[in-house]
Structure formats: C-alpha cells, structure tokens
Amino acid sequence: MKNLKKTAAAALVASMIAGTAQAEISNDEIRIGYLADMSGTYRDLSGPGGLEALKMAIEDFGGTVDGKKIVTFNADDLNKPDVGANTVRQWIDERNVDMVTGLVASSVVLAAAKVVEQGDKLALISGAAASSITNEFCSPNHIHWTYDTFALANGTANAVLKDGGKSWFILTADYAFGHAMEADIKKVVEEEGGSVVGTVRHPFPSSDFSSYILQAQGSGADVVALANAGADTVNSLKTASEFGVTQSGQRLAGMVVFLNDIHAMGLEVTQGLMLTTGWYWDMNDETRAWAKRYSERVGSMPTMVQAGIYSATTHYLNAVKATGSDETKTVRAHMAKTPVDDMFAKNGTIREDGRMVHDMYLVQVKTPAESKGEWDLYKVVSTIPGDEAFRPMADSQCKKMAPKG
C-alpha cells in the first residue's frame, strides 16, 4: 500500500513538472511578428523578401518547436513610427506576440522598441542601421543583428581615407538613421585626420536630389558621402552620375548600399564603388546554397538584411527549443551565451548592449567586364573582424545592459 502511495505521489509530481514545462510556451504557440516597409523606399532591401526569409527559417525548423506551432503575423509600417508602434502594441496586447523581427527604418524601430520593452517581449532588428539602437537607446529587450552605421562608416570611410579621400561632404537623410550615420562618418573621418567641409540634409524619402548634389559639387570636397539608403541612395547616385560628379574628380561613397541598389542601377553606374556589407551571397558554398534556395522562391538574390532575418530567427528558435520557453529573459540569455554559427555569421556573439558582433566585409563593385552573371556584383576586398568593425563596449553609452550570456 505504501509503495502504491509512493508511486501515485511520484506520478503526481511528474505530471506537475511536465505541466509546468509545457506551460513555459505561452499560449502553446511561438508567435512572431514581422514588421517592415513592404511598399516604400526600403521595400526591396527587406520587405516581402524578408518575410520570405522568415518563412524559410520556420520551415527549415519544421514549423514547430517540440510540437508547439510557430505562428507569424506581418504588417507594413509605411515607414511611420506611429504606425509601427501601434502595430506592435496591438500584436503584444491582443495576439501575445513573443518576438518581433524585420524592423527597418530606424525611426520606426526606436518607436517600436519602446513598446517591445514595455511589454517585456523581444525584438530582433535586422534592417535598421542607426548605431544608437544599441548605444544610447539600448534595451535588454532588443538585439541588433545585421549591421549598423558605426560598422559601415568604420569600414567604408577608413578605406576611402587611406586611399587619399581627406575632405568630405555628407548628404544625409533627415531622420534618426541619417543623423546617426552622419555622426559616425564625422567621427571616423576626423579621428583619421580628415575633415568634413559641409553637410546637407534631405527629407525622407526624396525623389529630387539636384540641389543637394549641386551643393556637394560646389563644396569642392574630395568625397561625397551618401548617408541615406534604399531608393534615396539610388536616386542620389543616379543624379550624381547625371551631373558628372565623378568626372569632375570627386569620389562617391555610398555608406549604406545594398545588393538590390547595385542591381537596380547597373554596373555601368556603380562600378568601382567601395562599400561595407555584413554578408554577400557569393562568399562560399554555404552562402551560395542558401541564396539559391531563396532566389528560387523570390526571384532575386538576398540582401544582407534578408539573410540576417533568417539567421536571427533561426538563432531565436534554437534558443526556444533549448530552454523549452518563450519567456524573454530566458530566451535572450540563451541566445547570448550561444555563438551564432550559420551561413550568415561564424562565431558571432551577442553583447550585453544587444549588439550582435560578427565580421563585416569591405567590397568593391565589379566592372561589367568582371561580372559573370546578373547578380555577380561584388568582389571582397577585405574582412573586418567583428571586434574592430563595431563600436567598442568601452565607448558605449548604453544604460540598460542585459546580463552577460
């Protein structure tokens, strides 16, 4: 009889433990929200293609985590901070979303990240550029994955400076991302003995860059740096080409240039352009294999942002599986203590400020004669080690550090 009681008691304890473990996945589902510009300036660098990368990550994971279904929601933020913040608030309040990803325009991200922090959920930021996201606006509730303005300025500006480009004029998108990029360019240029002779800010987004390019030409600067992105960068470069900026002896430095931008403009316009990227589809067998699968679904090669979305989502799902939980602090802690080792990054690490540190790459756009195919656009000039590419922790203004992984 005593043995029966002991057996029954043990069974009861076991069932209670099992019930608790099962309850650690809230709502018996892992719920992910994808928020991005789906129709505007940043559509091609993230947009629907980023959503497809997210779906690929979930499919490759089997669509479930230990039998718990992975559910997704998606929305177009229209590049408007209020739209982005309200969407995320609704997802958290009404749909109990665990994680939000995509996240492109820095102004939208900063607004949405506040809501994520208030709701104690997690944001994996792949598209936004502003380095302030993990500096003065850091939070234990978001991780900045793919790249940032500090790493891009550090890579491209240093290369151009070493090649003789000492005086700079900066054309800046007038919002959070552009301001952060402008500040990071100035820091690198001045620390390396160069000078910024002028700046001009344009509305976001813009279609007519004539007056801004004329100001850049009139400055006499060695280098005209474009602190904008997406369609704004494409339009800036096209206008600069029409106005003969490079023919007059000035250099163009596209500080936030994506694969889709080069493809859209063509090699005749962009050949020789130096830029920094966090990933390129044609780097090795692993990147080529994943990019081929992506291209078969989407019809184009992936940008670094779209590859970053796949990587971040996979790392998140691995952490949920390993911990048996979708609770934010538990998952983030496991993500931070586990190296990122996939087709996007090798030995990537997540710091306490939320920066995912990984190697960046200085590349040069090929000439038409060098290119062997439609998407054969870059040649890798050098690898920038992660601990050199991103802002050092010693210089961080982050006041909300997450515990070390």
Alpha carbon distances (Å) from 210 to 168, 256, 265: 19, 20, 17
* Residues 56 and 294: beta-carbon distance below 8 Å: yes
Average model confidence (pLDDT) across the chain: 92
Which is more confidently placed, 270 or 333?
Answer: 333
> What is the domain class of 27-147+284-359 according to CATH?
alpha beta
Mean pLDDT, residues 305-310 taken together: 98
Could you state, in order of their start, the residue ranges of all structural domains in the chain? 27-147+284-359, 151-277
Does the pLDDT at position 305 exceed 70? yes
Q: What angle separates helix 149-162 from helix 176-191, to the nearest 10 degrees?
A: 40
Type of residue found at 61: F
Looking at residue 248, its pLDDT comes to 85
Give pLDDT, residue 395. Answer: 93
Cβ(98)–Cβ(124) below 8 Å: no
Alpha carbon distance 230, 232 (integer Å): 5
Q: Across residues 108-134, what is the average pLDDT?
A: 96
- The side-by-side arrangement of strands in the sheet containing 360-365 is 274-277, 360-365, 378-384
Of residues 205 and 10, more confidently modeled: 205
Indicate whether 346 pLDDT > 80. Answer: yes
Note the pLDDT of residue 5: 46
Q: What is the C-alpha R_g of the chain?
A: 23
Residue 17 has a pLDDT of 42
Q: Do domains 27-147+284-359 and 151-277 have the same CATH topology?
A: yes
Q: Does 10 have pLDDT greater than 50?
A: no
pLDDT > 70 fraction of the chain, expressed in percent and rounded = 94
What is the fold, at CATH topology level, of the domain defined by 151-277?
Answer: Rossmann fold (3.40.50)
Question: Residue 280: which residues within 8 A CB-CB, separation 6 or more?
Answer: 259, 287, 304, 361, 363, 378, 380
Q: What is the pLDDT of residue 7?
A: 47
The predicted pLDDT at position 283 comes to 96
Return d(Cα 229, Cα 231) in angstroms, integer.
6
d(CA 35, CA 23): 27
Q: What is the predicted pLDDT for the residue at 86?
A: 98
Q: Between residues 180 and 1, which one has the greater pLDDT?
A: 180
Question: pLDDT (tens digit, 9 = 90+) per residue, 125-137?
Answer: 999 999 999 999 9
The whole-number pLDDT of residue 405 equals 63
Does the pTM surpass 0.85? The reply is yes
Q: What is the pLDDT of residues 23-67, one digit of tens each?
A: 489 999 999 999 999 999 899 999 999 999 999 999 999 999 999
Instruction: Compare 5 and 353 and report the one with higher pLDDT.
Output: 353
Q: At what angle do helices 81-95 and 106-118 cross, to 10 degrees?
A: 30
Summarised one tens digit per residue, pLDDT across range 214-226 is 999 999 999 999 9
Q: For the residues of 284-346, what is the DSSP string, one character each?
A: SHHHHHHHHHHHHHHSSPPPHHHHHHHHHHHHHHHHHHHHT---HHHHHHHHHHS-B-SSS-S
Q: 158: how many CB neighbours lie within 10 A of its CB?
A: 18
